């Protein structure tokens, strides 16, 4: 009979060759011969783990510890198994034992950090990851985990440092490159983020998610053609990746080189590919078709209490006549307790549906008896159009944060106005247009808005133009036009402010776009993002705002006007390129709307040549805007309720007609 040492050697050899079953046979014979050898139990536990017989593996590892109570490696493996089973408390306990018996055990410190992080203790996890790399400076995985944990804590600079160290130690580290790209993107170091994503794609060229992230980074870095190509590559890999397809749709709207017909066709392709099959899930609606009863209206968004949705929706919710409309808000992204409480104050019911699948969300809408369901996202990130494709409400409406068709047959209406969508528009929609009398948007400024300051021309002696929009809206045509303005108005300067400019290392690249047109860097001041209140104060440095095209400003346009800064807009041929024109018209500022580039330059020259008149307008603009339809929230709510009532009565008439046909 072979002794246990020989059997252990055979087990090790069998395991190395991949014959786990034979290895297990040898180990069980060895245990029978020598039941007090901790090494045999340990290898037996590892082999059972490899065979996914996890409870047996833990039992064998515990036997190893029974024989050798300070067996740190056995505690560590038990901890790993328990962590994978999401038994984090027990895993943490075992990792602590491993460290107790082996103080320099870097792997156990790393694993303990992972369990603490998963258990919701990123601060505690940070200490363990730091100890792991302190003990083992070449530990790439621990640096990766430390970088990931720094992201959890919002320590983006430290995350970048640690992820870069992980990649230095392990150059082909895909996960670290992916996470580094995400970190750099959040730091608005877009060229470096793009490099990281491209390096990750060299390692994994069939990763649709990285192509999507690359496309978003390229969009924000004004490389729109490359962004479109990245999104299309993602769809070649994963044709069912509907959010990537939506990102492509949004990106197409940034460029005037794509016609309205091409963009419409791509929206139809989205619907055909991703949503058409859901038509079979549409159920009959049980809503009572009473023309005049109180309506239950549901609003759907990931952005309640944030950004444009906050400043264009909150007052509407507050102004709704409660006897006319009962409001439900469905947040598709979890809100902080503060935002949840704030939003709850403006609606009858607020539901967090962020964890709901599309079918579950649709069922919730049906159970709530919603009459009119309003989508506030369109194809922007976080949308729930797959729920709308199941038609959970009798009337479904697209409004606010999108500027094109959804492409869905199940979306009944798109809310617009005559300036956004004139009768002669070449833009096409699957929805029926429902037009508001003034503007499809109504602005409410934040409570902390600063006071308007005197004209900056008075202290500067020259005109300062400005654009605080996302840099993804900058196009070659727009830059060329702005450069012409700077040439014809001597001494004038331009200020660009965007989160994409947070990294000064990228500034020469943007200055080069103006240098092509002989505009020196000194005439184009670049500024990064700041807190909202501070950003509004910076309008005190701007005489005239220049609206980008074909993708206009929205909230940015309203904010400039509220701060006393007029906005020059070029009206285009689609909703998004007529947005600022509509806002200006609602504010009674039609004289700042240009119909062609020559007129755009002419408006800039006219106002720049009369700084006294410009300064006077600055001091009266807020009052003028505040009393205009652009800020008349009460009237806007009444107009919206009339529109809802019209939509509802159309559905009621249709239902009555169907019922009559059935009766006959």
Question: 255 versus 642: which is more confidently predicted?
Answer: 642
pLDDT tens track for 576-606: 999 999 999 999 999 999 999 999 999 999 9
pLDDT at 107: 98
| pLDDT one-digit tens code per residue, 599-645 | 999 999 999 999 999 999 999 999 999 999 999 999 999 999 999 99
Tally: H helices and E strands in the chain: 29, 13
- What pLDDT was estimated at residue 10? 87
Digit-coded pLDDT (tens) for 142-159: 999 999 999 999 999 999
Residue appearing with tokens 């967090």:
352
Confidence of residue 660 (pLDDT cuts 50, 70, 90): confident
Residue-wise pLDDT tens digits, 294-304? 999 999 999 99
Distance CA 569, CA 590 (A): 10
Pair 600, 594: CB distance under 8 Å: yes
Concatenating the DSSP letter of every residue in 425-464 gives -----SSEEEEESS-S------TTPPPPPPPHHHHHSS-E
Quote the distance between the C-alpha of residue 133 and its chain's center.
Answer: 33
pLDDT, position 9: 86
3-state SS class at 416:
strand
Ranges assigned E (strand) in 446-558: 464-467, 493-497, 524-527, 544-546
DSSP per-residue codes, 190-244: HHHHHHHHHHHHHH-TT-HHHHHHHHHHHHHTT-HHHHHHHHHHHHHH-TT-HHH
How much is the pLDDT for 664? 62
What 3-state class would DSSP assign to 7?
Answer: helix
Residue among 177, 121, 108 nearest 144 (CA): 177
- Convert the pLDDT of each residue in 3-40 to its tens digit: 888 888 888 898 999 999 998 988 898 898 999 999 99
Whether the bond into 550 is cis, omega within 30 of 0: yes
* Whole-angstrom distance, CA of residue 474 vs CA of residue 17: 59
Q: Show the tokens assigned to 346.
A: 């403006």
- Average pLDDT score over residue span 441-446: 97
Of 116, 72, 118, the closest CA to residue 97 belongs to 72
Q: pTM value? A: 0.93
Alpha-carbon gap, residue 419 to 439, rounded angstroms: 8
Indicate the helix (H) or strand (E) that contains 266: helix 260-270
Quick one: average pLDDT of 307-330?
95
| Whole-number average pLDDT of the chain | 96
User: What domains does the chain contain, in order, with CATH numbers?
Assistant: 4-186+193-204 (1.25.40.10), 206-274 (1.25.40.10), 282-436 (3.40.50.11380), 456-631 (3.40.50.2000)
Mean pLDDT of 344-364: 97
Q: What's the pLDDT tens digit per position in 264-297? A: 999 999 999 999 999 999 999 999 999 999 999 9
* Measured distance CA(189)–CA(480) in Å, rounded: 25
Residue 188, Ramachandran bin (φ over 0: left; ψ between -120 and 50: alpha; else beta): left
402 to each of 109, 256, 405, how far by Cα in Å? 48, 17, 8
pLDDT recorded at residue 68: 97
Q: Is the pLDDT of residue 174 over 80?
A: yes
**Beta 413-417 vs 544-546: how paired, if at all?**
unpaired
Is the pLDDT at 1 greater than 80, yes or no?
Answer: no
Q: Above 60 in pLDDT, residue 54?
A: yes
For the record, the structure tokens of 270 come out as 């989205």
214 pLDDT above the threshold of 80:
yes
- Helices 208-220 and 224-237 meet at what angle, rounded to 10? 170
CA dist., res. 323 & res. 635, Å (int): 16
The reported pLDDT for the residue numbered 147 is: 98
């Amino acid at each position: 009979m072979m002794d246990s040492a020989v059997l252990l050697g055979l087990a090790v050899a069998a395991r190395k060759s991949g014959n786990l079953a034979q290895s297990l046979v040898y180990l069980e014979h060895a245990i029978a011969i020598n039941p007090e050898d901790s090494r045999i139990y340990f290898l037996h536990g590892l082999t059972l783990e490899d065979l996914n017989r996890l409870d047996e593996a833990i039992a064998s590892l515990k036997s190893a510890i029974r024989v050798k109570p300070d067996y740190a490696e056995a505690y560590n493996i038990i901890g790993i198994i328990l962590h994978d089973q999401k038994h984090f408390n027990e895993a943490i306990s075992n990792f602590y034992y491993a460290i107790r018996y082996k103080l320099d055990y870097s792997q156990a410190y790393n694993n303990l950090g992972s369990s603490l992080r998963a258990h919701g203790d990123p601060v505690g996890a940070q200490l363990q990851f730091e100890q792991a790399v302190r003990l083992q400076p070449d530990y790439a995985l621990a640096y990766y985990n430390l970088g990931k944990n720094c992201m959890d804590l919002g320590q983006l600079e430290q995350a970048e440092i640690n992820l870069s160290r992980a990649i230095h130690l392990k150059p082909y580290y895909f996960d670290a490159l992916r996470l580094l790209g995400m970190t750099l993107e959040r730091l608005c170091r877009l060229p470096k983020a793009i490099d990281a994503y491209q390096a990750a794609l060299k390692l994994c060229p069939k990763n649709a998610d990285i192509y999507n992230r690359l496309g978003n980074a390229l969009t924000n870095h004004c490389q729109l053609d490359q962004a479109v190509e990245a999104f299309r590559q993602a769809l070649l890999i994963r044709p069912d990746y509907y959010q990537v397809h939506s990102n492509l749709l949004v990106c197409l709207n940034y460029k005037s080189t794509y016609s309205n017909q091409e963009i419409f066709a791509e929206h139809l392709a989205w619907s055909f590919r991703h949503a058409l099959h859901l038509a079979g899930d549409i159920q009959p609606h049980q809503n009572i078709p009473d023309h005049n009863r109180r309506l239950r209206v549901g609003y759907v968004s990931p952005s309640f209490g944030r950004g444009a949705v906050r400043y264009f929706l909150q007052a509407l919710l507050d102004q709704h006549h409660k006897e006319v409309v009962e409001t439900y808000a469905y947040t598709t992204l979890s809100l902080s307790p503060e935002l949840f409480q704030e939003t709850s104050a403006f609606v009858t019911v607020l539901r967090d549906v962020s964890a709901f699948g599309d079918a579950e969300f649709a069922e919730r809408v049906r159970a709530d008896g919603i009459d009119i369901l309003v989508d506030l996202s369109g194809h922007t990130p976080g949308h729930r159009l797959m729920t709308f494709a199941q038609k959970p409400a009798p009337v479904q409406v697209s409004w606010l944060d999108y500027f094109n068709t959804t492409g869905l047959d199940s979306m009944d209406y798109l809310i617009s106005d005559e300036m956004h969508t004139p009768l002669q528009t070449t833009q096409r929609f699957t929805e029926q247009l429902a037009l508001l009398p003034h503007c499809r948007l109504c602005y409410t400024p934040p409570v902390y808005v600063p006071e308007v300051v005197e004209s900056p021309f008075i202290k500067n002696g020259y005109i300062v133009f400005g654009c605080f929009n996302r840099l993804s809206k900058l196009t070659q045509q727009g830059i060329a036009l702005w450069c012409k303005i700077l040439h014809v108005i001597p001494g004038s300067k331009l200020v660009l402010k965007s989160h994409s400019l947070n990294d000064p290392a990228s500034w020469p690249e943007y200055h080069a776009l103006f240098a092509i047109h002989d505009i020196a860097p000194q005439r184009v001041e670049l500024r990064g993002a700041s807190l909202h209140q501070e950003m509004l104060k910076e309008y005190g440095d701007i005489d005239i705002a220049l609206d980008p095209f074909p993708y206009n400003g929205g909230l940015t346009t309203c904010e400039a006007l509220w701060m006393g800064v007029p906005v020059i807009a070029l009206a285009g041929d689609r909703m998004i390129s007529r947005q600022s024109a509509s806002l200006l018209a609602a504010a009674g500022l039609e004289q700042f709307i240009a119909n062609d580039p020559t007129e755009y330059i002419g408006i800039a020259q006219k106002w720049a040549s009369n700084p006294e008149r410009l300064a006077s307008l600055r001091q009266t603009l807020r009052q003028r805007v505040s009393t205009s339809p652009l800020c008349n929230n009460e009237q806007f709510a009444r107009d919206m309720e009339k529109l809802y009532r019209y939509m509802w009565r159309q559905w009621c008439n249709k239902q009555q007609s169907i019922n009559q046909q059935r009766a006959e």
